[in-house]
Amino acid sequence: MNLPHQHAIGMIRREFLQVGFSGLLSLSALDLMRANSLSAASNDKGGSSTGLTSIRPRVKHVILIFQTGAPSHVDTFDLKPDAPSGIRGSFNPIQTSVPGMTVTEHLPRLSRHFDKLAIVRSMSHKFNNHLNGTHEMLTGHTQPGAFFDKIASRDDYPSFASTLEYAKPRKDGIPNGVTLPTFLMEGPLVWPGQHAGFLGPKYDPWLIKSDPNRKDFKVEEVNLPPGIAVERMAGRRNLLNNLGKISESLDSGNDHGGLDEQRRVAYSMLLSRQVANAFDIQTEPDHVRDRYGRHMFGQSLLLSRRLVEAGVPVVQANMGRVQNWDSHQDIFTRLSKGLLPPLDQGVSALLEDLDARGLLDETLVILTGEFGRNPKIGTEGGAKPGRDHWSPCFTSVFAGGGVQGGQYIGASDKNGAYPATRPITPNDFGATVYQALGIDPELEVRDRLNRPIQVIKGEPIRGLFA
């Protein structure tokens, strides 16, 4: 947004740039005096590589494919065809590329990639509520003070991308995390786990809230304001650098680190154009876009691949809008007609594309929801029954990044209701992600009361990586 008034030096008085969860950050005249006055203490809270493993991790990127609303594990990756009526669903299992491993008939493309997949069938936690469960899976922690429908707050634990930004901030204009294509919010309910929580807005991932399948898709927050060339923007940043030297003495003792840092990252991103070009999905050949599928699922996964190529370490692709997979009624039609076909097409294309481009070995791909569905088919749907929420046992799927494919890890009981082997918790899930990203699980972060908190206390999933 550009206001008509300009200073004598020709600089627009205010420029608004949306940066993730933090909203609009304005560059006022006073802001210009502060924009580069980054104090030496700005990295005190994890700004150095302290806490990271000394060996460069094999994984450089994580793509978290989040099935918001919770998919049914017993109708997809953990079918129970021998279970009694009222538990077994209407779908048939089919053989996959790995002998002895089966999957629902509505994931035929993905069945050909089971040599790449590790199916974890004993995921478990205690929250049957969407908001609490989402925080569990997107942070690896129980939401502080959790109660039914507790919305997001700055007391929450940070997302994986936020912790990475805290532990290893980037200076090249590439964000450590991007979430797309939807922000999980319904009315007054804001799903927790999507941002940096108690670390503060400085560490929020970028949130892209537009469907990349739309013909007019573009991301305004990585585009220059109208009429401003890159050269002019570079000149402005040089001016800000000079003004920043003066402002250090004027603003000594004031903490502007969070806002100034996000402005700096925004400018760097605009100037490098690396990530901005990744969002220009229209430049992708038609046959590639068609292979992923001309729907939100497929194009979001294609955009995820493009962001990984641009160097973004953590991409979260939400498969649908809030509670999209929440099938209390008519579950078998919803899955077979509306949800599984685009997921099957998009995820299969993503794995093939990453593999062909030499990126799969360094990219950990995860497919999960916040929990599973009740093995007992509900009755409230009448002639079109569904399955209710079920967190005691569910499934997460891993591929790439050194994952040993073609295996089941853990098992559920005969009905898919409870783990038959050691339960794998969101803490373990989080420890696995942090291990992959090269973050020391004993890294300490500070909450809003300055209390030290260990970043994760789980155990990485045994046998997952080759």
Q: What are 249-302's pLDDT values in tens digits?
A: 444 444 444 445 555 555 666 556 788 899 999 999 999 999 999 999 999 999
Q: Do the domain assignments include residue 123?
A: yes
Domain of residue 163: give its range.
44-205+287-454
Cα dist from 207 to 16, 21, 175, 177, 376, whole Å: 16, 6, 11, 9, 36
Predicted confidence (pLDDT) per residue in 161-220, tens digit: 999 999 999 888 899 999 999 999 998 899 999 999 999 999 999 999 999 999 999 887
Query: On the CB side of 248, how many CA atoms lie within 13 Å of its CA?
Result: 12
**For residue 19, is pLDDT > 50?**
no
Task: Look at residue 234 in the predicted model and tell me its pLDDT.
Answer: 61
Q: Do the domain assignments include residue 8?
A: no
Residue 15 · residue 27 · CB < 8 Å: yes
3-state SS, residue 241: helix
CA-based nearest residue to 46, from 429, 435, 460, 442: 442
**For residue 421, is pLDDT > 60?**
yes
**Most confidently predicted of 47-51, 248-252, 390-394, 452-456:** 390-394
**Pairing mode of beta strands 177-180, 314-318:** parallel
Residue 191 · residue 152 · CB < 8 Å: yes
Domain count for the chain, please give it: 1
Residue 403 · residue 466 · CB < 8 Å: yes
Q: Do the domain assignments include residue 415?
A: yes
The enclosing H or E element of 426 equals helix 426-437
* Relative orientation angle of helices 340-356 and 296-309, to the nearest 10 degrees: 20
Task: Look at residue 336 in the predicted model and tell me its pLDDT.
Answer: 98
Task: Look at residue 14 in the predicted model and tell me its pLDDT.
Answer: 29
**For residue 439, is pLDDT > 60?**
yes
Task: Look at residue 271 in the predicted model and tell me its pLDDT.
Answer: 55
Q: How many CB atoms lie within 10 A of CB 92?
A: 11
Task: Look at residue 30 in the predicted model and tell me its pLDDT.
Answer: 31
**For residue 340, is pLDDT > 80?**
yes
Map tokens 């373990």 to a residue.
Answer: 428
Query: Is the model more confident about 38 or about 108?
Result: 108
3-state SS, residue 103: strand
**For residue 411, is pLDDT > 90?**
yes
Q: Do the domain assignments include residue 264?
A: no
Q: Do the domain assignments include residue 11?
A: no
Q: Do the domain assignments include residue 247?
A: no
Residue 421 · residue 410 · CB < 8 Å: yes
Q: Do the domain assignments include residue 387?
A: yes
Can you point out the beta strands (E) in 404-465? 407-409, 444-446, 452-454
Task: Look at residue 37 in the predicted model and tell me its pLDDT.
Answer: 34
Q: What is the CATH number of the domain that holds 421?
A: 3.40.720.10
Q: Do the domain assignments include residue 352?
A: yes
The tokens for 462 are: 């045994």
What is the pLDDT confidence band of residue 231, given thresholds at 50, 70 and 90? low
Rounded CA separation 414/78 (Å): 10
* pTM of this structure: 0.82
What DSSP state is assigned to residue 385?
B
